[in-house]
A = this chain, B = another copy of it.
Amino acid sequence: MNENQYHHGDLKKELIVQGIKLMNDVGLEKFSLRKVATMCGVSHAAPYKHFENKQTLIQAMNVYINDSFVNTMKQVVESYVDDPLTQIIELGKTYVSFMVENPDYFHYLFIGNFRFEIQISESSVCECENSYDIFRESAVAALMYLNRPKEEFTEDIIAMWAMVHGLTTMLVTQTIKKEDGYLNLVDSILRTKLSFFNVI
């Protein structure tokens, strides 16, 4: 396709990419469709050929980020298929570090899941819709490995995910300071929980 073309090529995707960039720069409050359009070198009404409205674009941005998050998680799962305990711990670390390193993504996923309908990517190859499902699946494997009673699975999994997500929140919102060894905290907390299972 040409350089100075009337048609853009893949405007839909660039709207998402530039949209995320803009959101990072100016925040939700000052995020505007017209700015995104300008960033893509396109008239302010062009986005409406690809998205119903502003909310729909933001949703698409959410899906885009969620996919990238989910894929990162899946990679970790695949790296430790034969070691359930290490797997769930590394998964926890990845969960936390991904969000700490991309605090804006935390906003999107969070705010997005709140304010708008949750929408699942169709393009995603992943059979798990979201990060919680991946985490849960890994947790189940670890609990089975530890011969935990099945009737307590639910509570154990919730406790573990809650710790990981809660810790993430504290770090991203700077309720606690992000020191160099913050990942050891994840390790330690999850390991305590897991070894607690083991001892009993």
Chain A residues proximal to chain B, CB less than 8 Å: 27-29, 55, 107, 110-111, 113-115, 132, 155, 158-159, 161-167, 169-170, 173, 175-176, 185, 188-189, 192, 196
Contact = CB atoms under 8 A, between A and B. Distances in A.
Contacts of A113: 173
Nearest to A113: B173
Contact of A111 (B111, B158, B188): B111
Given A114-B107, A170-B162, A175 B132 contact: yes
Contacts of A159: 163, 189, 192
A28 B115 contact: yes
A16 to B, nearest CB: 18
Nearest to A189: B159
Contacts of A132: 175
24 contacts: A27-B115, A28-B28, A28-B115, A29-B55, A107-B114, A110-B110, A111-B111, A113-B173, A155-B189, A158-B167, A158-B185, A158-B189, A159-B163, A159-B189, A161-B170, A162-B163, A162-B166, A162-B167, A162-B169, A163-B163, A165-B166, A165-B169, A166-B166, A196-B196
